[in-house]
Structure 1
Amino acid sequence: MEKTFPNLVRVPEPNMQMNFVAFAKRDIPISDWESLRGLRIGMVSGWKILERNTKDFPNVSHLLEVSDLFQMLEMDRLDVVLYSKLTGYEQLHKLELNNIYALSPPLCTKDMFLYLHKSHENLVAPLAKALHEMKQDGSYDQIVKETSCHLH
C-alpha cells in the first residue's frame, strides 16, 4: 500500500487477521489453492490475492458484486466462492442464505493494517499502542467475539 499510495502511513500493529476462504453448499475437501483447481470458482474482480493464486485455473468467474457470486453458488452455477470469511458471512446473512458456509482450512490468512494520511502521522504511535493494549487486556478479543457472533 505504501508504494502505491505514498501519502499513507501504516499503523504497525495489525488491526485484524483476514481469512480468505472457499464458501460452498456442500462439504468439499480442500487443503490449499491447488485443491480448488477442478472446481467452478467465483470471486470478486480485483482481489489480487485471489486472482494470483488461481490465475491459470480453468473455470474461474470474476464478478463485481459478491452478492451475485453467492446467488450463483445458491443456484449451483458455482462450486465455491472465494472471499474473506467475516465479510462473507455478513453477505450471507444479508442475503438470507443459510445453507452456504466456509470450508476449512482457510486458503490464506493475512494480517491487516490501518493506514492514516501522512498529515496524521503523529497518531500512528498512539494508535498502535492502543491496539496492542486492547489485545493484551482482552478487550480486542471481546469485540471480535461480539461482532462475529451476529454473523454466523
Structure 2
Amino acid sequence: MRLAVALLFCLVFQSTPLHAEELQLSVIAQHSVNDRIWPALEAAAKRINITVVARPMSADRGVVEASMGQLDGAAGRSSGVEQKFPDLLRVPEPVYHYAPSAYSYMRPDVSRGWASLRSYSLCIRRGLQLTTARTRDMARQQLADEVSMLRMLKEGGCEVAIMDRNEPAAKAVMATDPGLAQLKPALEEMPLYIYLHKRHAALVPKLAAALKQLRADGTLNKLSGEGD
C-alpha cells in the first residue's frame, strides 16, 4: 500500500509543470522608455527561468513600494537609488542607456551639455530624478508626460523640451512638423538599471549575467533600440 501511494505521488509530481518564479516590478507610468526596457528585461528573465510583470505607477511610489517589499523591485532607474533605499539591490548590468536630448523650434548650441540650456526656458517630465537634478536652478516647467511637453513647446510655453533621444512622441511630431528639431549631441548618456528587493539577492548576479549575454550577442540592442 505504501509503495502504491509513493508511486502515485511520484507520478503526480512528475506530471506537474514547474512554474517559473514571477517578479512584480514597478515601472514609471506612461513613460515611453518602458517600451524599450521591458522587451530586453523579459528576454533576460526568460534566460534564467523567471517571469516579470510590469506595475505602472508614479516614479516615487514605485521605488517606495519596492523598497517596502510590496513589490519585487523597480525597473528602469538610474544608479544611486540604493543609497536612499538600502533594501533595494542594483542589478549591475544596465538594461538601457537613456540619453536625454533637447528638442526645440530654435537651434541653440548644446555642445556644452546641460550648461548650454541655462539661458532657456525648459519643459521637463515630472518625477524623473535625472532631469530634475540636472535642471535645478534653471527656468523650467514640470509636466505630466511627453505629449504635454511637446504641446507646451509648440505653444511657446517653453523654448526647449528634454526627452529621450528615441522618444516616439517627438519623432511623430517631427515627421509632420519640420520646424521641430532634435538637437545633437545628447545632453548625456546614463545607464538605467533594474533594482530587486533584497529577498531576491540570489537573482541579482543571474539577471546581470543574462543582460550581459544579451548585450554581447546584439539581442539587447535589437530589442531596445538604444543605439538608434
TM-score per shorter chain, which class?
A: 0.7 to 0.9
Q: Does 1:36 align with 2:117?
A: yes
| CA distance in structure 1 between the aligned counterparts of 2:123 and 2:196, rounded to whole angstroms | 32
Structure 2 unaligned blocks of 5 or more? 1-80
1:15 partner amino acid: V
1:141 partner amino acid: N
- TM-score, normalization: structure 2? 0.56
Q: Deviations over 1:19-48 (max 9, x none)?
A: 011111343321122221222211123333
Match in the other structure for 2:92: 12
For the residue of structure 2 that corresponds to 1:108, the secondary structure is coil
| CA distance in structure 2 between the aligned counterparts of 1:80 and 1:63, rounded to whole angstroms | 13
The Cα of 1:132 is off from its aligned counterpart by 0.8
Match in the other structure for 2:134: 53
Q: Does 1:144 align with 2:215?
A: no
- TM-score, normalization: structure 1? 0.80
Q: Does 1:97 align with 2:173?
A: yes
Contact 2:96 2:224 in 1 (8 A): no
**1:64-83 aligned within 5 A:** 64-83=144-163
Bigger radius of gyration, 1 or 2?
A: 2
The Cα of 1:65 is off from its aligned counterpart by 3.3
Q: 1:113 aligns with which of 193, 200, 215?
A: 193
Single out whichever of 8-17 and 97-106 deviates more from structure 2: 97-106
Q: Deviations over 1:92-125 (max 9, x none)?
A: 36xx523334211111211111111222221111
The 1:49/1:144 distance shift into structure 2, 3 A limit, reads closer
1:137 partner amino acid: D
Structure 1 unaligned blocks of 5 or more? none
| CA distance in structure 2 between the aligned counterparts of 1:63 and 1:135, rounded to whole angstroms | 33
2:201 partner amino acid: E
Q: Deviations over 1:33-79 (max 9, x none)?
A: 2221222211123333323333233x322233332221011223221
1:84 partner amino acid: D
| CA distance in structure 1 between the aligned counterparts of 2:90 and 2:107, rounded to whole angstroms | 38
| CA distance in structure 1 between the aligned counterparts of 2:170 and 2:116, rounded to whole angstroms | 24
| CA distance in structure 1 between the aligned counterparts of 2:221 and 2:133, rounded to whole angstroms | 31
| CA distance in structure 2 between the aligned counterparts of 1:33 and 1:92, rounded to whole angstroms | 19
| CA distance in structure 2 between the aligned counterparts of 1:33 and 1:74, rounded to whole angstroms | 21
* Count, aligned residues: 143
